[in-house]
Every structure is written in structure tokens, then in C-alpha cells.
Structure 1
Amino acid sequence: MRRLWTVLLAVVLVSTVAGPATAAEPPQGPAGDAFYTPPSPLPAGADGDVVWWRPLPDQSGARGYLVLYRSRSATDAPIAVSGRVLVPTAPWAGAGPRPIVSVASGTRGIGDRCAPSKFQPDYEKPLFVDAMLSRGWAVAITDYEGLGTPGLHTYVVGRSEGHTVIDAARAATRLPAAGLAAGGPIAFSGYSQGGGGAAWAGELAPSYAPELTVAGITAGGTPADLDVVAKSLDGGIGFGFLLLSALGLDAAYPELDLPAYLNDRGRTLYTTQQDACVDAVFGYAFGHIADYTTANPLATAKWQARLAENKLGARPPKAPVFLFHGSGDEIIPLSQAQTLRSQYCAAGVPVTWGTYLGEHVTTLAFSAGDVVGYLADRFAGKPARSNC
């Protein structure tokens, strides 16, 4: 009996010293479009776990990986999401683990062929992703829900975008081939649709991913209030973005039943544009909701409830935020971004606010250096300067 207790004690001590068993390395997935079709049923696991992965062709100074990872939909259902992880080839020379920036892409469209991991040109890469990699930071880039993977993309739906941006960062640390450690500093960064994704990630992270060390958030051209944005787009040059948004909300919340409000022209659009990429958007410039509907769905109680649910500002981030916008933004109104700034400031969030002289697209280019500089200061541990 004494010998048995000795053996059991030895097993307990070894287990304690060794710690919990490490998860098996995720398998490599199939090549081509088959990569984006997750196994059914989806393997059990935690949010951010890698389902499978494949190496991407090396680019100058960085290794790349295509990943399929677990996340959650707008209604908290488990889903598989595709994305990329980019890691500099040079060893990290800074203190602590290598930082990771989870980049939320701007609008690519709603069809699977428009996924950021497939779509060209990759306009964020030369503007700031390359600069992030050159500083030694790893970059994770989600494809979002239903963009590449099965189902329609839930375009501009906040909880879905926030979940997928957060879980891209988690997935980066759970891919052994990438060599990234958990527990290091994380940032969320994006512009336009990506500004919404980054801001939603910042708002959700304290409850959804409390284990993450979020050093900072940059969100530009942010659609913070979809109701205000929709009213501005109706009849404007960016009306096509409103059409994409309606399709995205309907995909996330089937009870909205968008087809019930459509006239013949609207039903044709609904069935023919579900594979549309961003280049198709401006073909609908200066259109009106009334051109495609028998009644305005946005005026109904159930649509208004979902729009309100997707309004930023109710859950202030715990990390400092760089919010910025173009003074002449013709797509996403400056006023609703200023309202978000006021809400964050009132809640005590350290907000650095920037306004750039320009419209929607040029502001992305004008702000790129400031975005990278802001994150460099956060990763260096410098206190954020608020101009609330």
C-alpha cells in the first residue's frame, strides 16, 4: 500500500511540474477553395482555436499562414472563420513577446471571392500592414464571418466583426508554426468597415477575451451608428454600401426578412448581388431605398432594434483609442464618429482624436503613418495622450 501511495504521489508531482497537456498541433487544411469549407461538424474547441492552416508563399521579410479558426457569429453561434497570420522573419528584438496587430479590413464586398485573403488589390498592405511588419510586429487579418467561408457575409454587424477580429489574434498565438507567444501585447486596427470591426473588438474584448492584453485600438472612418450612416447613404454616392449593409444585417438576423420589403427590382438585386465585391458598389450611386422596396425596412421596429444593437459606444473599451475621420467623408458621416468620441471620453477612455482634411478614401492614406506611430507608442508602454 505504501508503494502504491508513493507511485501516485510521484504521478501528481510530475503532472504539477509539467503543467497541463498541450493541445495537438492543428492539421494542415486542403489546398484551394476547399480550404474555406470547414469540416462538418465543426470540431470542438475554444474561440480562437485553429481548425486547420496552410503556409502561404513567403513575402519579403515575412512568413504567411492561411488559417481557419473558431469564432462566434452575431448571435453567438460557433462558426469557422478564415484569415491570415503574417510574421516577420527577423527575430523579435523588443522586450517581452512579439506584439500582434489584429487588422480589421475595410470593405471588400459580400461574396466569398471578395474575402481579404483572396481579394486583390490588398490596399491596406502597402499603406500600413507592411510598416507594421517592418517594426517586427505580427499581423493577423480576419476574413470576417461568411466572407470566404459558407454563408453570406454579415457585413457591418458589430458583434460578429468584433468576435472575428479578437479571435484572429487568439488564433495567431495558437498556431505553433507562427511561433507567437500568448500573453503579449495585442492591438486592434482598422478603417471604414474595419474601423467598426476594430472598435467592436475593443468594446467586446473585456468580456469576450479578458485574457488578452490590449495595448491600443485604432479605428478610422468608423460606422459607429448604422442608422445615421444609412440615412446619409440613401440618395448619396455611397448608396451601394447601404445595399451591402442591408444584405449583411439580413444574413445575421433572418427574422428581419429583407425580401418581404423588396419590389421586383429589389428582388432581382437580392438574388444577383450576393457575390458582389466592392467594385460593384458605385454602380448604385445616388440610388434610393424607395427604388428597391415597397416599404422602407429601416423604419420598422425590428430593423430599428437591430440597428440600435449594432451601435457603438455602450461598452467603453478598457484600452486607449485613436479615433479619426475625414472632415469631408462622403460615405460615413463625421458627426456620428464625433458622437462616439464624446461617449468614450465621457466614460473615461483615453481617446486621441484626429480629423484629416479629405474624403473617405484619401483619409485612409493620410492617416496610415499616424496609425502605426500610435501603436508603436502603445507597444512601447508610453502613456496615451488624450485630447478629449
Structure 2
Amino acid sequence: MRRFVRPLLVALLVLVGVPPVAAAGPVPGPPGDAFYTPPSPLPAGVPGDVVWWRALPARSGVQGYLVLYRSESATGAPIAVTGRVLVPTTPWPSGVRPIVSVASGTRGVGDRCAPSKFQPDYEKPLFIDAMLGRGWAVAITDYEGLGTPGGHTYVVGRSEGRSVIDAARAATRLPATGLAAGGPVAFAGYSQGGGGAAWAGELAPSYAPELAVVGIAAGGTPADLTAVARHLEGGIGFGFLLLAAFGLDSAYDELDLPAYLNEKGRAVYATQQDACVDAVFGYAFGRIADYTTSDPLSRSDWQARLAENRLGAHPPAAPVYLYHGLVDEIIPLSQAQTLRREYCAAGVDVTWGVFLGEHVTTMVSAAGDVVSYLADRFAGKPPRTNC
């Protein structure tokens, strides 16, 4: 409904003889890291509007743009998120150039780890370069609280999905990109990004009904955070569970993570708010009891928020490619299989893929299939479902 409000107001103003005031367009952003600090208060607008931007150096036939755009938090509050829009400089042959909104995999929770800052960009050679090579535009969100003020809402799907959707909107609302609204859009991501892409798919029909979403590719997807937490407890990836606790605490004020922490937990909470992904393996084989006086995940308020961020309740309208590693040591295969069954039962066109690999090797093995799957969706081919 919100997208109709401004046109209606303009029409009413014209009828009563009041000239409408043109909406301010995106403005150049400040240099350096000041770009990542939004104006306060945010200028008026709607999700996907670009607040400010700057051009990035052109590389290998691609022009990039750094953008600060409006989105919404997990609780529906207006926020600003940074990200990048990458556009091939070669003309699109006909029609409207497709856009893939890429949800990045885990970079960490610190501002210095934002995808637009963090190097190396491990997804670039696997996915992004191939997408750009097909002539598609690519939007890559930094997510809430990565780069921008506030804590990063790591693996909180209702925040991440909106950031992914609004990155696609922002790509068409920055005139410099030359991208037009109304063209085909896809969401893609792996690991944390698999959750972000799948959540974008679930939220899009109600949150962004104007988008022509033609496909979703989500791999290594944390569909059920409770099941993922049980899997990580005592395992090599326990550090990801710590980051997830930080993320939920950042998204929902009432969870109050510090109230559950013992001395060791308080030290981690105080020193690891800027942690990047390389830090997580320093906590391998840890347990929740090592850091807490009582388990917050057993509390009703935490359980409610975990359930709220479980995928499957709002099946996407677009076809979905779900894929996972058979021996994924970070995100359990079983909860991804459950999501597949739920989507299939709801009538979603699901293509399911399993790879003989663990978490990282599966991402590498699946990259070509992901790009081919999205190419078929942009070409209008019917998906090959295997429910």
C-alpha cells in the first residue's frame, strides 16, 4: 500500500490547487567511513529509497556504486543499510536488465567486516563474476548493522530478508545505475546468505509485491535456528552460535543477552562485538554452559523470537533452488530437508540439490548450478522440480 500513498497525495494536492513538492533524490555521500553513518533523522522515504551514494572505481567492464538505502528492521523500524550495486557496462540486448540481489555469507558482526569493506570477497569469483558475465546487475547488501551503527542482526531472517529485497529496489532507484524497475529479479545466497535469500523470497509477496521475483537460490540455509543451535553446541562451529546470540540480542531488545552471561561470557561479549568470521574457530567445541549462568535459548522469549525467524511459514511465490552438503558440519542437512518438504507441500516449485561435501566445498561445487538455475529463470524456462 505504501507505494500508492505518494501518488494519491500528489493527486489530492493538485485537485485543491497546491503545487506538489518534488521528492529529493539521492545525494552524493560523504567520503571515507563517514559514508556508513546515516543522517539522523533519516530523510523521508520508503524502503528501498537511496539516501546517498558514490561511484566505485570501474573494473573489468563493470561499474560499481556504494549506496546507503532505507530498509526496515526485524521489528519494522525504519533503518539505513549500506550495500553495493554492480552493473555491466555492456548494453543489455533487449528489455530490462535482470537484477540478482545477493545475500552474502558470514563475514562477522563487526563494522569492519561489512561485505562492502571485507576482503577477500570469497563469493566474487564463485558467483558474482559469473552473474556479471551474463550481463546481469548484482546488488549486494551489507545487512543491518554491518558498517552502519548498531549491532549486526546476524542470521535474523526478518531483518536480512528485508535488506536483500531493498537492495534490489535501491538498484533501480539510483538514476546513475541506469537500471529500470519492473524487470526480473532473483535472490541468491549461501550459508547466512542462504537464509537471507530464502527470507527475501518468503517476505517479497507481502513486503515488495511490485517486484517481479522469478527465482531464489538458497544454499546451506539456516532454516531453523533452534535446530542449528543444537547442532553447533559442542561442535567445531560453536563460534557461529555465539555470533547468532549476538545477532538475536541486537535485533530484539527484550532478549537481554548480557543478563545470562557469566564472567567468561561477559568478556567475550565485551571484546568480540567487532569479530570477523576468522574469529569463530577460536571457540570450537565450546558449549553454552561455558559462557552463561543459565541457557537463554530455553527461555520463552528467546524461543518466541527463534520461532518467528524459522523459515517455511510463508512459502515463496517464486521457484526455489535449495541445496545443501551431505556432511555439512556447520548447518545441519536435516533442517534444510524439512524446509524442502514444507515448501513442496505448499506447492512451491522446488529444485533440490545435495552435494557430497561439507559446508565450504558445497558452496564451491554448487556455484555453476546456481548461475545456470538463475539463467533459466531469467530466460522464462519452467523449473525442473523434484519434490
Bucket of the pairwise TM-score, normalised by the shorter protein: over 0.9
- 1:61 CA displacement: 1.4
Quote the residue 1:7 is aligned against: none
SS at 2:53 equivalent:
strand
Residues of 1 paired with 2:325 and 2:210: CA distance? 34
* Aligned sequence identity (%): 80
Structure 2 match to 1:320: 319
Structure 1 residue 25: Cα displacement: 3.3
2:121 is aligned to 122
Distance verdict in 2 for CA 1:373–1:21, change over 3 Å: farther
Matches of 1:349 and 1:317, distance apart in 2: 7
Secondary structure of the 2:116 match is coil
Counterpart position of 1:100: 99
Give the residue type in structure 2 aligned to 1:75.
T
What is aligned with 2:42?
A: 42
1:371 pairs with 2:370: yes
In structure 2, C-alpha distance between the alignment counterparts of 1:166 and 1:185, rounded to whole Å = 13
Instruction: Render the CA deviation track for 1:121-169: whole Å, top value 9, x for unaligned.
Output: 0000000100000000000000000000000000000110000000000
- Match of residue 175 from structure 1: 174
Measured in 1, the distance between the counterparts of 2:103 and 2:113 equals 14
User: 1:54/1:353 Cα in 2 relative to 1: closer, same or farther (>3 Å)?
Assistant: same
Report the Cα distance in structure 2 between the residues aligned to 1:339 and 1:26, rounded to whole angstroms: 43
Residue by residue over 1:227-258, the C-alpha shift from the partner in whole angstroms, topping out at 9 and shown as x without a partner, is 00000001000000000000000010111111
- Structure 1 counterpart of 2:230: 231
Q: Distance in 1 between matches of 2:164 and 2:142?
A: 9
Aligned to 2:78: 78
Is residue 260 from structure 1 mapped to residue 251 from structure 2 by the alignment?
A: no
- 98-107 or 23-32: which moved more? 23-32
Match of 2:303 in 1: 304
Is it true that 1:347 corresponds to 2:367 in the alignment? no
Instruction: Quote how far apart the aligned CAs of 1:21 are.
Output: 8.8
Q: Distance in 1 between matches of 2:114 and 2:201?
A: 22
Q: Deviations over 1:165-194 (max 9, x none)?
A: 000000000000000000000000000000
Paired position in structure 2 for 1:209: 208
Aligned to 2:27: 27
Matching residue of 1:9: none
How far apart, CA to CA, are the structure 1 residues paired with 2:385 and 2:345? 12
TM-score by length of 1: 0.94
Distance 1:84 1:195 in 2: 18
Aligned residue identity for 1:73: S
Residue 23 of structure 1, CA deviation? 4.6
Residue 67 of structure 1 is matched in structure 2 by 67
Q: Distance in 2 between matches of 1:22 and 1:359?
A: 53
Question: Residues 55-111 of structure 1, C-alpha deviation per residue, up to 9 Å, x if partnerless?
Answer: 011111100000000000000000000000000010001x42000000000000000
Alignment length (residue pairs): 371
Distance 2:38 2:58 in 1: 25
Q: Which structure has the larger Rg over C-alpha atoms?
A: 1
**TM-aligned CA deviation for residue 22 of structure 1:** 7.1
1:161 and 1:287 map into 2 onto residues whose CA distance is: 27
Amino acid at match of 1:296: D
Kindly tell me: are residues 59 and 363 of structure 1, through their superposed partners in 2, closer, same or farther at Cα, counting changes over 3 Å?
Answer: same
Aligned amino acid, residue 294 of structure 1:
T
**TM norm structure 2:** 0.94
- The CA deviation string for residues 313-359 of structure 1, in whole angstroms up to 9 with x for no partner, is 00000000000000010000000000000000000000000000000
Distance in 1 between the 2:383 and 2:95 partners?
Answer: 20
Q: 1:347 and 1:22 mapped to 2: Cα distance?
A: 44
Counterpart code for 1:150: P
1:385 CA displacement:
1.1
What's 1:8 paired with? none
Give the distance between the partners of 1:286 and 1:59, measured in 2 at CA: 42
CA distance in 1, matches of 2:57, 2:25: 21
Query: C-alpha distance in 1, partners of 2:30/2:24?
Result: 18
Distance 2:338 2:59 in 1: 40
Distance 2:153 2:24 in 1: 31
Secondary structure of the equivalent of 1:365? Answer: helix
Q: Which runs of 5+ in 1 are unaligned?
A: 1-11
* Matching residue of 2:282: 283
- Inter-partner Cα distance in structure 2 for 1:152 and 1:345: 35
Letter in 2 for 1:81: V
Give the whole-Å Cα distance in 2 for the aligned partners of 1:174 and 1:235: 46
What residue identity is the alignment partner of 2:160?
Answer: E
Matched to 2:291, the amino acid is: Y
Decide whether aligned partners of structure 1 residues 91 and 316 sit closer, same or farther in structure 2, where only a CA change above 3 A counts. same
**3-state secondary structure, aligned to 1:47:** coil
